[in-house]
A = this chain, B = another copy of it.
Amino acid sequence: MAISKNSFILIDYVIRAKDTGELIETTIEDVAKKENKYEVDRVYEPLLVIVGENRIIRGLEEHIENFGEAEKEMQVEIPPEKAYGVRDSSKVKIVSVRELIRNNIIPEVGKTVELNGQVGVVKAVTGGRVLIDFNHPLAGKTLLCTYKIVKIIEDDSEKIRHLLHRRYRRIPLDRFKVSIDQNTNSVTIEVPKEILLDRDLQLVKAIVAEEIYRFIGKYNTVMYIEKFEKETEKK
């Protein structure tokens, strides 16, 4: 089977380093907790993937596109070049302690540092010289990914609710009211009041409108409705 470009799917996945088996990333809360990778601020739930959008690692997206199948547990081995890239030895640099100090960095082995906009890990400190590896920590790693497509979303309003929800993970999907008028090719979205004062909302609305045009097509107008009710009426 295969999943065509621009399909909206929800996946659960567990990604591990092939060599050590170490858990790298997962959507499944229990797995994260069991292996001490649980992030308190994260919402654990299946991830929205729009095939071809290029937001997830390439090896996984290609596997979904070529072999994806709903409700089937899949496994894929992903080489570095389709994950976090191969290791580039020119990105391992020697920096003087003096330069680090000038940038308010005290070098210690294992420490993650940011220098001139690049993030690296201190590998060694000898004399006045510090070895820093600016490769992505997962560069050069082959990954093992198990995943399951838990849903293929067909309904346009459901797709749109997911586009909104992925920008505001804490707002439940059904708080976004979406209606579609097929005659005028227009989408109307009622914005939940919990996010009305979010400073990024205007940008998010423009982005989601663009995503609707790009990935769902067929519509020409996205209209947002926001209700500001009188305080006393709310009680």
Contact = CB atoms under 8 A, between A and B. Distances in A.
Interface residues of A, number: 26
A209 interface: yes
A interface: dominant SS: mixed
Interface string A213-235: 10000011111111111110100
A101 interface: no
A19 B68 CA distance: 84
Nearest to A207: B228
A230 B224 contact: no
A43 interface: no
A221 B229 contact: yes
Contacts of A197: 202-203, 206
A228 B209 CA distance: 6
Contacts of A209: 228
A228 B219 contact: no
A109 B96 CA distance: 48
A196 interface: yes
A194 interface: no
Copies of this chain present in the complex amount to: 2
Nearest to A214: B230
A199 B196 contact: no
A213 B230 contact: yes
B225 A221 contact: no
A229 B225 contact: no
A201 interface: yes
A213 B229 CA distance: 9
A205 B226 CA distance: 9
A198 interface: yes
A228 B206 contact: yes
Interface in A159-204: 196-199, 201-203
6 contacts: A196-B202, A197-B206, A201-B202, A210-B228, A220-B233, A223-B228
Given A220-B233, A224-B226, 4 more contacts: A220-B230, A221-B228, A222-B227, A222-B229
